[in-house]
Structures are given as structure tokens and as C-alpha cells.
Amino acid sequence: MLDSFNKNQKYVLFLLFIFSIVWIFAAISPFSRHDWMLENMLVVIIISVLSLTYKKFVFSNTSYTLIAIFMIIHELGAHYTYSLVPYEEWLNACCNWSLNEFMGWERNNFDRLVHLLFGLVWVYPAKEFLERKLLLSNGLSWFFAVQSVMTFSLVYELIEWGVAMIFGGKLGMEYLGTQGDIWDAHKDMLLAALGGLMPALLFYKVGQKK
């Protein structure tokens, strides 16, 4: 048990090291320093919670990997601001291909992709916590894991709205990132819910067959 804990601890430190490198590069000359600071409030909260509760609850390496992936991609959004991440330029440079043209998009949809990713990667750690800490069944743990993704997505959209109202102006719009879409928050929450629901249904059925 102790050996397993030490291996987990080393792996978590390795992920933290990788994330720290990404964070440092993302912190160098971001498009908007103030927006970068606002976006990194989420990072501070996540790392603080995971650090303070580590001895009480240790997630699996899979969960920590998923969390790290989300945070690394979030740093891209923090560096460029979500509505200006140049994924189109990257794809054109490396593959001579346009994702927006292929999908018929007229806006920068990096924020949409990250909301979908949030559901995909956070539902498993939530399920793991509910199953191990609260001793819920496989089905109930997946159900409430999806509910937690939807809840966090809702709370985050409310926080975004509140911050945009407080700061207003260009900074508020950069942080909110609606790009003129009045249904932006609704679409973001839907994508997070779908992102959480897809792996939940898949792995629930896989678990039922065993």
C-alpha cells in the first residue's frame, strides 16, 4: 500500500512538473495579462484543493492525468484568451487544412471544444470520488458524476457572468468570450453535459457486461 502511494505521489509530481513548464511558457507575454490572471484563478483553486486534500483522498493516476490534460489545454486559452487561440493557423501550417471550413464554423470554437473536453475528462475523477468516498454503486456514481459536471459548468458560467459584470469593458468581454453569441453560456453548458454523458454511458455499459 505504501509503495503504491509513493508511486502515485511521484507520478503526480511528474504531472505537476510538466504542467509547470506549460504554465511558465503560457505566462510569457500573454495576449491579455489581466485575462490571463483571471483564467488562472481556476488553476489556483484546482491545485490548492487537490494539494490540501491529497492525504485524505488520492485519485488514481488516470484521474490525475485527465485533470492535467484539461489544465494544460486551459493554459492555451489563458495565454491567447479563449476566443483568439489560433488553432486554424496551426492546422493550416501543419496540415494545410481548415477545421472551421470543414465544420462550417464562422467563429473561433476553441472555447466550445474545451467545454466539451471538461465533461470528457472531469466525469471520471468525479465518478471515482463518488464511488470510493461515498461508496455509491457503479450506476449511481456515474449518474451523479454527470450531474456534478453539469453543476460545475453552471456555476462556472455564473462566475464568468459575474466577473464580466464586475470588470466590464474589454477585459470583461475577453473573459466572457461570447463572440457575440447570446446563447454562448447555454451551448457551453450543453457541451459539458454531453462530454460527461458520453464516457458515462460507454463505461457504465462496459461495467454492466462484466
Rounded CA-CA distance 167/39 in Å is 14
* DSSP letter assigned to residue 183: T
pLDDT of residue 159: 87
pLDDT at 106: 87
**What does the CA dihedral 167, 169, 171, 177 come to, rounded to 10 degrees?**
110
Domain-wise residue ranges, the chain:
2-201
| Largest interatomic CA distance in the chain | 55
So what's the pLDDT on residue 181?
78
Q: Note the pLDDT of residue 204.
A: 78
Taking only the tens of pLDDT, the chain with its 210 residues reads 555 667 789 999 999 999 999 999 999 999 999 899 999 999 999 999 999 999 899 999 999 999 999 999 999 999 999 999 999 999 999 999 999 999 999 899 999 999 999 999 999 999 999 999 999 999 999 999 999 999 999 999 998 888 878 877 777 676 766 677 788 889 999 999 999 999 999 887 666 555
**Is the pTM higher than 0.75?**
yes
Three cell numbers, residue 74: 486551459
